[in-house]
């Protein structure tokens, strides 16, 4: 289940909940995770709010496009390997974690990249969900693995490769 909290009114300019649902279904389906038993929270905020969150949790006092807080640390120990598979809780649900996404930064980036805001936001939600599932892009082979998954998932949604120049 995806729970969307819209804090910033600018998000009303696009069908965020529909985009987030599509991105969530596509990502979890691609990775073989049960949609109905998986819980993700998405907070749609502005640059001021995400800047505070980025400062608090990452010690970077600047806005960013998306942040993720996984419920469990699933990251692979070895560069380029798949992360651990999430395990359900006692009630059978998968508590995957929380994502925050900032309208101002996303809108600016979409314009700079020459992409629609809808496509860029869909990409960032897929990206955020992959972070919840232990994928990362700090190490080179991990980044290659994560980007490959993003391209595959977005392709299934009919979206172009966001990393192609």
Annotated binding site for Zn(2+): 127, 131, 137
C-alpha angle 3/113/146, rounded to 5°?
A: 55
Where do the DSSP E strands lie in the chain? Answer: 2-6, 38-45, 66-70, 94-102
- Binding positions: 127, 131, 137
Distant-in-sequence, close-in-space partners of 132: CB < 8 Å, separation ≥ 6 = 40, 68, 69, 70, 71, 96, 97, 99
Distant-in-sequence, close-in-space partners of 51: CB < 8 Å, separation ≥ 6 = 61, 62, 63, 64
């Amino acid at each position: 289940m995806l729970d969307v909290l819209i804090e910033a009114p600018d998000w009303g300019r696009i069908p965020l909940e529909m985009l987030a649902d599509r991105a969530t279904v596509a990502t979890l389906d691609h990775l073989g995770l049960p949609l109905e038993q998986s819980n993700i929270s998405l907070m749609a905020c502005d640059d001021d709010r995400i800047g505070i969150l980025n400062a608090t949790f990452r010690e970077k006092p600047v806005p960013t496009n998306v942040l993720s807080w996984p419920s469990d640390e699933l990251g692979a120990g070895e560069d380029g390997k798949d992360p651990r598979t999430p395990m359900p809780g006692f009630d059978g649900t998968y508590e995957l974690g929380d994502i925050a996404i900032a309208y101002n930064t996303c809108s600016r980036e979409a314009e700079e990249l020459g992409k629609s805001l809808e496509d860029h936001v869909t990409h960032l939600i897929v990206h955020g969900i992959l972070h919840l599932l232990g994928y990362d892009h700090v190490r080179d082979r991990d980044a290659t693995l994560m980007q490959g998954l993003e391209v595959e998932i977005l392709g299934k949604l009919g979206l172009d490769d966001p990393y192609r120049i």
